[in-house]
Amino acid sequence: MFLQKIYKEWRLLFWAVLFFIAAQCFFMYKGISTIPFFLYYMYGQKHPKKQSIDVILLKTPTGYFNTNKLSGREQEMLLNPIDLYISLKTKGDGNTFNINHRFSSTSINNYFKKMLCNDSLSIEQFPTWWATYYKAVAKPLHDSVTVVKSSVSTTYPYLKLDKDSVIFKVKIN
Amino acid sequence: MTITTTTYYPRAFMARCIFAWLTLILFYFFFTHSLVHQLVQPVLKYPGSDNTFWLVYATGIPSFFMQHKWAALLFDVALIASCILAVIFPQKKIFSLIAIVGSWLLYIFYCSAAGKHYAQIGYLITPHAFVVLNEKKFDLLWNLVRYWVCFLYTFAGLSKLFYGGFAFEGTMSNILLQHQALGNVFLEDGWRHTLSHYLIENPGIAQFFYRLAAMFEAACIVGFFTKKFDKWLLVGLVSFHVGNFFLLNISFVEQSLIFAAFLPWKKWAVHFQYNNKND
């Protein structure tokens, strides 16, 4: 057995592996992914059908910019933080609650909030950062873009529903 | 002298291949604007509830590299250079160590800026075995890397059973609907789009593929007991990720390094007449 082998041949590694297994079990039980103890359960849950699916669209003077033409990583970096931005604007930083929950000492509490949480200035600066990254990856010819939230029907022919709600508008050039 | 058998994994040969592979992944990051200096100093951070992210953020390291253009550029250059140097000097442990630490930091920076903690982690796991030079110890660590990969996929497969995705008939077609939403807005066509629509319209067939994938993932548990089926695990993993790429548009460039755990390195060492004395 592999564990017996490492116990005989490299005792330190044996204890490290035992620690890793214990920590992995602990974080699985707690349901908190803590790298390197990954919780690899993506797409494991039931996915019931929704009425519509929310999408983030980039409205330009010449129509919607097709973000599917970007690479997966560029698309992730461009679209995903918008959800975080919306959440920060509407609900505030969830980590403030987590820090209050985890640390009772005021000094540690304040230090972690300073290092981990997004302040109002960062949130305010987000559209400007977003525009810089957009300019780098999309190389747009237009001079402004409006980021909107919309939805797509989940019944054939899966059309975009009419209503767009504006998240922010930025100047590009 | 002809080499006909090799007891240990050919560490130096493998180091050259793995770090060359990692270098290519980093070049892919470069061409997809996702190295640290290309993130143009993100203003938001997302450590989530991950304790390791918290600890790393508490040191101030991410903020320093993410907020200083030159520090970010230096970080990227050092990371790529360490990988290239690990290819050239596989027996110098320091380059492997820098590459490993740098890759983990890059993962933390990227996920934090993207506002989501991603599961594409193959490039983080595989290089770990190269932190030692001793052949015997390297052998043990390489086996551990292989077990780690087997564990992750087994866990993913069992999660699909445990959390209900496997049993629920509409799981795959609804996942496809979600992934196709943007494509539907842009009225995309082509065979990938047509295939996705066919599967959305036929949830039973879509769910068959989901279940097949889940069963394959769970079957990775066999890797804990024998290496006899490694060839099939490799074929299964490649097929699984190619399928994900075509149906869900999930790139597996970053994840591709997990394939290395199932490659026949010892056979190749014999084939290329490579032993550890060549180092």
How far apart, in Å, are the Cα atoms of B57 and each of A17, A36, A87, A126, A138? Answer: 26, 16, 21, 19, 30
Would you call B177 and A66 a contact, using CB atoms and an 8 Å cutoff?
no
Distance CA B135, CA B129 (A): 11
Cβ distance B47 to A95 less than 8 Å, yes or no, reads yes
**Amino acid (1-letter code) at residue B238:** V
Q: How many CB atoms lie within 10 A of CB B120?
A: 22
Those residues whose C-beta lies under 8 Å from the C-beta of residue B152, and which sit 6 or more positions away, are A38, A40
Average pLDDT, chain B: 93
**Is the pLDDT assigned to residue B78 strictly greater than 70?**
yes
Q: Which residues of B touch A115 (CB under 8 A)?
A: 57-58, 60, 63
CA-based nearest residue in chain B for residue A17: B144
* B274 phi-psi bin (left φ>0, alpha ψ -120 to 50, beta other): beta
DSSP secondary structure letter of residue B7: S
pTM score, two decimals?
A: 0.93
A108-166 residue pLDDT tens: 889 999 999 999 999 999 999 999 999 999 988 789 999 999 999 999 888 888 789 99
CB B38 within 8 A of CB B106: no
Residue B15 confidence (pLDDT): 96
| Measured distance CA(B166)–CA(B275) in Å, rounded | 46
For residue A10, list chain B residues with Cβ-Cβ distance below 8 A.
Answer: 136-137, 140
Does B274 have pLDDT greater than 80?
A: no
Beta bridge partners of B164: A45
pLDDT digits (tens, 9 = 90+) for A65-114: 999 999 999 999 999 999 999 999 999 998 888 898 888 778 888 999 99
- Say if the Cβ atoms of B113 and A81 lie within 8 Å: yes
pLDDT at B146 over 90: yes
In chain B, the residue whose alpha carbon lies closest to the alpha carbon of A113 is B58
Averaged pLDDT, B253-271: 93
For residue B167, give Cα distances in angstroms to A119, B156, B171, B172, B198: 43, 15, 8, 11, 21
Q: From the list A6, A46, A77, which residue is nearest B171 (CB)? A: A46
Query: Which residues on chain A are in Cβ contact (under 8 Å) with B117?
Result: 33, 35
Provide, as residue numbers in chain A, all residues whose Cβ is less than 8 Å from the Cβ of B170.
Answer: 47-49
pLDDT attached to residue B279: 53
Nearest CA to CA, how far is B278 from chain A (Å)?
25
- Per-residue pLDDT band for B186 (boundaries 50, 70, 90) equals confident
Which of B88-92, B118-122, B159-163, B174-178 is predicted with the least confidence, judged by mean pLDDT? Answer: B118-122
Q: For residue B26, with 0-12 CB atoms within 10 Å meaning exposed, 13-18 middle and 19 or more buried, which class applies? A: buried
d(C-alpha B85, C-alpha B64), whole Å: 25
Residue of chain A minimizing CA distance to B109: A77
Our CA-based measurement puts residue B119 at a distance from the nearest CA of chain A, in whole angstroms, of 7
A42 vs B44: CB contact, 8 Å cut-off? no
Residues A26-71: pLDDT tens digits? Answer: 999 999 889 999 999 889 999 999 999 999 999 999 899 999 999 9
- pLDDT for position B190: 86
Q: Extract the tokens encoding B3.
A: 């080499």
User: Which of chain B's residues have a Cβ under 8 Å away from the Cβ of A163?
Assistant: none
Q: Give the pLDDT mean for B2-27.
A: 88
Of B50, B115, B170, the CB nearest to A47: B170
Q: In the structure encoding, which two tokens stand for residue A65, read together?
A: 């910019």
State the pLDDT at residue B5. 62
Chain A residues with beta carbon closer than 8 angstroms to that of B53 = 35
Contacts of A21 (CB under 8 A, 6+ apart): none
